[in-house]
Structure 1
């Protein structure tokens, strides 16, 4: 009996397809591995959360994985020198803005009449005064009315540490007399007259510069009388101590382009 039962067990055919079970498990794991690699290579916040939740449910995990933060955070500037320069530049702009507001308030009547313009840029604060407010035609002596306005400006400049550049401009009509052989001498003399008044009003001479540009930097066409009147001007620029390199402009406007050759 025992020999016969054992022979029956030994005679059972061998199962040659059991390897398919291990192979199927290996393929499943390999597929899961490539899915994970793909999801890491191209992160999508919504798809990543759905996929992590699905894996957690499938493998019995405790909760889903935390989503990856793909947003760029605003970190502080790491360079101390750059951070300090940025802060100094901010304070300088605030100081120049206050100065521009004070000048606008002081020269408000002339600003309303269109005879004075106050502007602010990367160079600093510029006060552009029409020459008719300051001088008689063809002259470089300040009128009594203009002295009052300029002395009010000098009071603000005296308490301010910035350098000041005074630029004289004329129209393109030539002038030839014993005092001013050309517009160069006239524009330089007018700038010098404003500088002398500032010095007499208490502004330190070392902070002042006088420049004559003649008719080389017009702000309006010289073909008509109103354009020539705008070009006859004196510009007082309070120069910023920390120019902004991102918006820095030349010290004078570019001259107009020459007409093309015929």
Structure 2
């Protein structure tokens, strides 16, 4: 063996580090997924735990097309059958349930008439013939607007006529009994759909909508609403549709506005 020194061999071990993480975006996506699943299972539970009327009440509450809310046959509270308009319950159906005329109050702002709206809502909930489907409530710059609308199978008037149906008579009775304790003035406006109508002697949708508003005025008065508080009766033909579809039955309606005090 040679006495020459052996060469020193240095081995370098290369360490390959794993690629760096891609940030926390996956955590956000995962959190969104978990939240969506939680919402989905909550929806499934609600569908299983509620009745059809209660589900309609929930749908009405979240309907963005009606600023205040639609009056639903499911009652005031979407899950318990109370009102979405108030935090209390009135233990009678309608202010005018008895024969005594309620004591008149001073004119008030429509935002303070939740008792009357609650009375209206409870009276509708007590009806078993689907009257709630004919009514919508919303706020406007003028005041509280109560829309009495046609339904395809249950019109408020005979076709092309200002003769009221029993449905309209009952609706105006509920409105009169619920609001005859306030001192605010109201206005009544008739509306038609866009189907062209022209009767004899040039009778048109303008005449028809005005006559229907006047019929509603007479019914409200017959049911106890003070005639002197009706400040306007007019017709707008089809110029202010409620639905995007100009031929929708909902456009055939009576608008009753409780004016600001």
The two structures have a TM-score, normalised by structure 2, of 0.51
Aligned to 2:34: none
Aligned to 2:118: 101
Aligned to 1:235: 255
Deviation by residue 1:47-94 (Cα, 9 ceiling, x = unmatched): xxxxxxxxxxxxxxxxxxxxxxxxxxxxxxxxxxxxxxxxxxxx7355
Q: 1-side partners of 2:178 and 2:157: how far apart? A: 22
Runs of 4+ with deviation above 6 angstroms: none
Pairwise CA RMSD: 2.4
Rg (Cα) greater in structure: 1
Aligned to 2:244: 221
Q: 1-side partners of 2:161 and 2:221: how far apart? A: 20
- The structure-2 alpha-carbon separation of the partners of 1:170 and 1:93, relative to structure 1 and needing over 3 Å to count, comes to closer
Unaligned stretches of 5+ residues in structure 2 = 1-107
Q: 1-side partners of 2:131 and 2:159: how far apart? A: 23
Deviation by residue 1:114-155 (Cα, 9 ceiling, x = unmatched): 321122344222111113442122111111232122112111
Q: 2-side partners of 1:176 and 1:92: how far apart? A: 40
The two structures have a TM-score, normalised by structure 1, of 0.50
- The structure-2 alpha-carbon separation of the partners of 1:164 and 1:93, relative to structure 1 and needing over 3 Å to count, comes to closer
Structure 1 position 189, deviation (Å): 0.5
Q: 2-side partners of 1:148 and 1:191: how far apart? A: 16
Aligned to 1:159: 181
- What is the number of equivalent residue pairs in this alignment? 148
Asked if 2 retains the 8 angstrom alpha-carbon contact of 1:103 and 1:118, the reply is: no
